[in-house]
Structure 1
Amino acid sequence: MRKCVISVAIVAALASSTASAEPATPAEATANRTFNEDGDIGAYAPSVTRQAGTFHGQKIRYTTTAGRIPITGPDGSIDAQVFYVAYTKDGVPPGQRPIIFLTNGGPGAATAWLHMGGVGPRKIVLNADGSVPPPPARLMDNTDSPLDRADLVFIDAPGTGFSRVANEQTKARLYSRDGDLQAYAAFIQNYLRSNNRFGSPMYLWGESYGAFRVAGLSDVLVRQGIPLKGVILLSSALDFHVTEPGMTNDLPYQLLLPSYASVAAFHGLLPGLKDDDAMRREVEDWSLNVYGPALAKGSRLGGEERAKIVAGLVRYTGLEASVIEMHNLRIEVPEFMKYLHAARRLVTGRVDGRLLGPAPEARVEEPFYDPAMGALTPAFSSATSQYLLEELRVDIPVPYRMYSRDVATRFALAGPARYGQLGYPETLGALQSTFVKDSNFRILSMQGLYDLATPFASMEFALDHMPVPHDYLANIVHVRLPAGHMAYDDAAALKQMNQAVVSFLDSAK
Structure 2
Amino acid sequence: MKIPFILLLCGFLGVSTQAQQRSIATDTAVVTTNRININGQQISYTAKTGMQPVWNEDNTPIASLFYTYYKRDNVNKSSQRPLIFSFNGGPGSASVWMHIAYTGPKILNIDSEGYPVQPYGVKDNPNAILDVADIVFVNPVNTGYSRMIKDEEGQYPERENFFGINADIKYLAEWMTTFVSRNNRWESPKYIIGESYGGTRVMGLAEELQNNQWMYLNGVIMVSPADYKVLYRGNPNDSALNLPYFTATAWHHKMLPSELQQKDLLDILPEAEAFSLNTLLPALAKGGFIQETEKQAIAEQMAYYSGISKKEILQHNLNVPPAFFWKTLLREKSGHTIGRLDSRYLGIDKNEAGIAPDYNAELSSWLHSFTPAINYYIKTHLNFKTDLKYNMFGDVHPWNRENDNTRERLRKAMAANPYLNVLIQSGYYDGATTYFHAKYTMWQIDPSGKMKDRFSFKGYRSGHMMYLRHEDLIKANDDLRAFITKTSATGKSAKY
2:252 counterpart of 1:266: yes
Alpha-carbon displacement from aligned partner over 1:439-461 (angstroms, at most 9, x marks no partner): 22111111111111111111111
Following the alignment from structure 1 to structure 2, what is the Cα–Cα distance between the partners of residues 172 and 367?
A: 33
- Contact 2:81 / 2:188 at 8 angstroms: preserved in 1? yes
Cα distance, 1:355 vs structure 2:
1.3
Q: Secondary structure at the match of 2:484?
A: helix
Q: 1:70 to 1:21 in 2, by over 3 A?
A: same
1:227 pairs, out of 209, 216, 219, with: 216
Cα distance, 1:369 vs structure 2:
1.3
Moved more, 222-231 or 274-283: 274-283
- Contact 1:432 / 1:468 at 8 angstroms: preserved in 2? no
4+ residue runs over 6 A deviation: 26-29, 31-36
2:175 counterpart of 1:187: yes
Matched with 1:197 is 185
Q: 1:303 to 1:471 in 2, by over 3 A?
A: closer
Q: 1:469 to 1:293 in 2, by over 3 A?
A: closer
Following the alignment from structure 1 to structure 2, what is the Cα–Cα distance between the partners of residues 27 and 297?
A: 63
Cα distance, 1:259 vs structure 2:
0.4
Task: Write the letter of the residue equivalent to 2:273.
Answer: E
Cα distance, 1:382 vs structure 2:
0.6
Cα distance, 1:42 vs structure 2:
3.2
The normalised TM-score by structure 1 is 0.88
Following the alignment from structure 1 to structure 2, what is the Cα–Cα distance between the partners of residues 83 and 352?
A: 28
Matched with 1:302 is 291
Q: Give structure 1 stretches of 5+ with no counterpart.
A: 1-18
Q: Secondary structure at the match of 2:246?
A: helix
Following the alignment from structure 1 to structure 2, what is the Cα–Cα distance between the partners of residues 322 and 456?
A: 26
Cα distance, 1:468 vs structure 2:
5.8
Q: Secondary structure at the match of 1:315?
A: helix
Following the alignment from structure 1 to structure 2, what is the Cα–Cα distance between the partners of residues 439 and 27?
A: 38
Matched with 1:394 is 384
Task: Write the letter of the residue equivalent to 1:456.
Answer: Y
Matched with 2:494 is none
1:475 pairs, out of 454, 465, 484, with: 454
Following the alignment from structure 1 to structure 2, what is the Cα–Cα distance between the partners of residues 239 and 401?
A: 24
Task: Write the letter of the residue equivalent to 1:314.
Answer: A
Alpha-carbon displacement from aligned partner over 1:202-225 (angstroms, at most 9, x marks no partner): 100111111110110111100121
Following the alignment from structure 1 to structure 2, what is the Cα–Cα distance between the partners of residues 85 and 396?
A: 15
Matched with 1:23 is 5
Cα distance, 1:303 vs structure 2:
2.0
Q: Secondary structure at the match of 1:119?
A: coil
Cα distance, 1:174 vs structure 2:
0.6
Aligned residues: 470
Matched with 2:369 is 379
Alpha-carbon displacement from aligned partner over 1:291-312 (angstroms, at most 9, x marks no partner): 1111111111232111101111
Cα distance, 1:59 vs structure 2:
1.2
Task: Write the letter of the residue equivalent to 2:461.
Answer: P
2:100 counterpart of 1:110: no
Matched with 2:39 is 56
Alpha-carbon displacement from aligned partner over 1:47-87 (angstroms, at most 9, x marks no partner): 10001111122211110000000001133221111000000
Matched with 2:266 is 277
Following the alignment from structure 1 to structure 2, what is the Cα–Cα distance between the partners of residues 347 and 201?
A: 44
Alpha-carbon displacement from aligned partner over 1:384-407 (angstroms, at most 9, x marks no partner): 000000111102330111112x21
Q: 1:226 to 1:117 in 2, by over 3 A?
A: same
1:126 pairs, out of 110, 116, 132, with: 110
Matched with 1:12 is none
Q: 1:231 to 1:31 in 2, by over 3 A?
A: closer
Matched with 1:311 is 300
- Contact 2:105 / 2:130 at 8 angstroms: preserved in 1? yes
- Contact 1:98 / 1:200 at 8 angstroms: preserved in 2? yes
Alpha-carbon displacement from aligned partner over 1:72-112 (angstroms, at most 9, x marks no partner): 11332211110000000113344221100001000111011
Q: 1:160 to 1:371 in 2, by over 3 A?
A: same
Alpha-carbon displacement from aligned partner over 1:207-257 (angstroms, at most 9, x marks no partner): 11111101101111001211111111100123532x2343xx211111110
2:185 counterpart of 1:206: no
Matched with 1:14 is none
Task: Write the letter of the residue equivalent to 2:163.
Answer: Y
Cα distance, 1:380 vs structure 2:
0.2
2:444 counterpart of 1:465: yes
Cα distance, 1:322 vs structure 2:
2.5
Q: Give structure 2 stretches of 5+ with no counterpart.
A: 151-155, 490-496
Matched with 1:47 is 30
Matched with 1:358 is 348
Following the alignment from structure 2 to structure 1, what is the Cα–Cα distance between the partners of residues 345 and 476?
A: 20
Matched with 2:241 is 255
Cα distance, 1:192 vs structure 2:
0.9
Q: What is the percent sequence identity of the aligned residues?
A: 29
Q: Secondary structure at the match of 1:397?
A: coil
Following the alignment from structure 1 to structure 2, what is the Cα–Cα distance between the partners of residues 36 and 180?
A: 28
Matched with 2:282 is 293
Following the alignment from structure 1 to structure 2, what is the Cα–Cα distance between the partners of residues 45 and 169?
A: 21
Task: Write the letter of the residue equivalent to 2:70.
Answer: Y
The normalised TM-score by structure 2 is 0.90
Q: Secondary structure at the match of 2:445?
A: coil
Task: Write the letter of the residue equivalent to 1:310.
Answer: A
- Contact 2:192 / 2:219 at 8 angstroms: preserved in 1? yes
RMSD across aligned positions (CA): 2.1
- Contact 2:341 / 2:431 at 8 angstroms: preserved in 1? yes
Alpha-carbon displacement from aligned partner over 1:411-438 (angstroms, at most 9, x marks no partner): 1xx3xxxx2x15xx45111110111112
Following the alignment from structure 2 to structure 1, what is the Cα–Cα distance between the partners of residues 429 and 339?
A: 9
Matched with 2:312 is 323
Task: Write the letter of the residue equivalent to 1:119.
Answer: T
2:55 pairs, out of 63, 72, 77, with: 72
Q: Secondary structure at the match of 1:148?
A: coil
